[in-house]
Amino acid sequence: MSRLTLTKLRSAKQRGEKVAMLTVYDATFAGLLEAANVDVLLVGDSLGMVIQGQESTLPVTMDDMVYHCRNVLRGSRHAFILVDMPFMSYAVPAQAIDNAARLMREGGAQMVKLEGGQMLSETILQLTMRGIPVCAHLGLLPQSVHRVGGYRVQGREERVADQIYEDAVVLQQAGADMLILECIPAHLGRKITKALEIPVISCGAGPYCDGQVLVLYDMLGISLSRLPRFSHNFLEKTDSILNAVQSYVSAVKRGEFPTLEQSY
């Protein structure tokens, strides 16, 4: 069987089927997530914090992303592979093209993810014109943590919410094929999901999006820090990682996760 395709992810949105996505950084977990029917494996630059013990995602390099992506590729056969472009690897379009090509050619990525609003329109246009699928990322942007002043919910004020909405529409027009919304109010997640044709995935953006993504180590409770409100330890009620991931997938597919209490 071949890998899940973007076409299938698009038709899942049309059919109202939710997409289950998790971050993953190595071959063993990639195989396990796939066995639990996770649709999309996100090789997130959260690996800087989760795997490398950095204070933010900023020190993560292209070499790190290629290395982890290749491992995830080897461990999986069917899931769709989405990969983060690390901090400053897409500062100008020409650099973004070279680095995205590397993630696809050497890492095996099927789609690359970039953090930011309308200023990325030209970059997204240039990438997608060259056949590189792009996932945009709006709301809380961890690569901009020093500018924002911390990891906090975005879009509570009307002005900021309107900006996030407008960015989403413009980035879809520029060619973005998917969108991740991080840490925004659920009503804004719903408004954007309804307005866009592309799949919109929530990471703390409420239950109304087309799918959900969590950091794997958070949803397995392998973390000493307090879980964000939108996450949940699925390993709490079972002693098997496979069962925990399967519970996550079925809760997402049935629209039971997240609840409004787990949203902003």
C-beta nearest to ligand KIV: residue: 44
E-state strands within the chain: 19-23, 40-43, 80-84, 111-115, 134-139, 178-182, 200-203, 211-214
- Exactly one of 13, 29, 44, 110 binds ligand KIV (CB under 6 A); that residue is 44
CB closer to ligand KIV, 52 vs 238 = 52
* Residue 233 burial by Cβ neighbours in a 10 Å radius (0-12, 13-18, 19+): middle
CB closer to ligand KIV, 15 vs 146 = 146
- 215 near ligand KIV, rule: CB under 6 A: yes
Q: How would you classify the pairing of strands 19-23 and 80-84?
A: unpaired
Angle at 183 between CA 179 and CA 187, to 5 degrees: 80
Residue 191, classed as helix, strand or coil, is: helix
45 appears as a binding residue in the annotation:
yes
Q: Which helix (H) or strand (E) holds 70?
A: helix 62-75
Residues in the interface with ligand KIV (CB under 6 A) total 10
CB of 222 to ligand KIV, least distance (A): 14
- Name the DSSP letter for residue 118: G
Structure tokens at 4: 């899940």
Q: Tell how far CA 73 is from the center of its chain.
A: 17
- 39 near ligand KIV, rule: CB under 6 A: no
Structure tokens at 222: 């392998």
Binding mask 56-95 for ligand KIV (x = CB under 6 A): ----------------------------x-----------
- Exactly one of 4, 9, 20, 23 binds ligand KIV (CB under 6 A); that residue is 23
- 19 near ligand KIV, rule: CB under 6 A: no
- Exactly one of 132, 192, 203, 205 binds ligand KIV (CB under 6 A); that residue is 203
115 appears as a binding residue in the annotation:
yes
CB closer to ligand KIV, 22 vs 129 = 22
- Exactly one of 180, 205, 209, 251 binds ligand KIV (CB under 6 A); that residue is 180
- Exactly one of 19, 41, 46, 232 binds ligand KIV (CB under 6 A); that residue is 46
Neighbours of 156 (CB within 10 A): 12
Q: Is 182 part of the annotated catalytic residue set?
A: yes
Catalytic residue among 55, 106, 122, 182: 182
Among 22, 54, 15, CA closest to 40: 22
46 appears as a binding residue in the annotation:
yes
Q: How far does the chain reach from its first CA to its final CA, in angstroms?
A: 39
Positive or negative, the Cα torsion across 28, 217, 100, 189? positive
Binding site residues for Mg(2+), as ranges? 45, 84, 115
Enumerate the active-site residues: 182
- Residues lying near ligand KIV in the complex (CB under 6 A) are found at 23, 44-46, 84, 180, 182, 203, 213, 215
